[in-house]
Amino acid sequence: MFNLSTKRLTLRPLILQDAADFFMYRSDREANRFQGWIPEKLQDAKYFIQYRTNPTFNVPDTWTQLAVIDKRTQAIIGDIGIYFMPDKSFEVKLGYTLSADHWGKGYATEALEILINHLRFTLGKNRFIALIAPENLPSIRLVKRLGFIQAKYEEEKELQAEEYPDDLLFILEL
């Protein structure tokens, strides 16, 4: 099974047995107000894991969802989604969610740094995309800290999400 590790975290594909933990932090409406999807019931979380994510890396036009696990407690504290672009093998979209209890501790930075490095050096990805709500200032600061630059949709029309037309576009090219 795919596994990445830092000093404090383990990243691995989200599995059905994670559904209850995943549901606990993902169903927090206030903490996830900038997310495009918030599960209403545990069954929604199970469905998402079973049918909306692909545990196999690098399959074009699919999302892979990774659990972010605190090594000390073995608790799932968040997840990172990776969308493998259908016609641009060098490019991925990234999305991330962290339990509100774990905000401000550097976990998202740590997880994204190791993941970006893995995607770059193992799979040859060199362009990373993040779409972020303009009001989500902590997330904007996070991607900027990682080297992402805000871009204009006029240059990247295919990335504009129709359902979230106000999101800001950030790109990291390595």
Question: Whole domain around residue 122: which residue ranges?
Answer: 4-173
Number of domains in the chain: 1
Q: What is the CA radius of gyration of the chain?
A: 15
CA–CA dist 87, 84 (Å, integer): 9
pLDDT classification of 36: cutoffs 50, 70, 90: confident
**Sign of the alpha-carbon dihedral angle for 167, 34, 41, 103:** positive
* Count, residues in the chain: 174
- Residue 18 dihedral angles phi and psi, to the nearest 5°: -85, -5
Q: Taking residues 58-66, report their average pLDDT.
A: 96
Give pLDDT, residue 155: 58
Give pLDDT, residue 156: 60
Give pLDDT, residue 1: 62
Q: What is the pLDDT of residues 122-172, one digit of tens each?
A: 999 999 999 999 999 999 999 999 999 999 876 565 565 555 568 999 999
Which CATH number fits the domain that encloses residue 118?
3.40.630.30
- Whether 122 and 2 have beta carbons less than 8 Å apart is answered as no
Query: Which one, of 110, 16, 2, 124, lies nearest residue 57 by Cα?
Result: 2
Give pLDDT, residue 68: 98
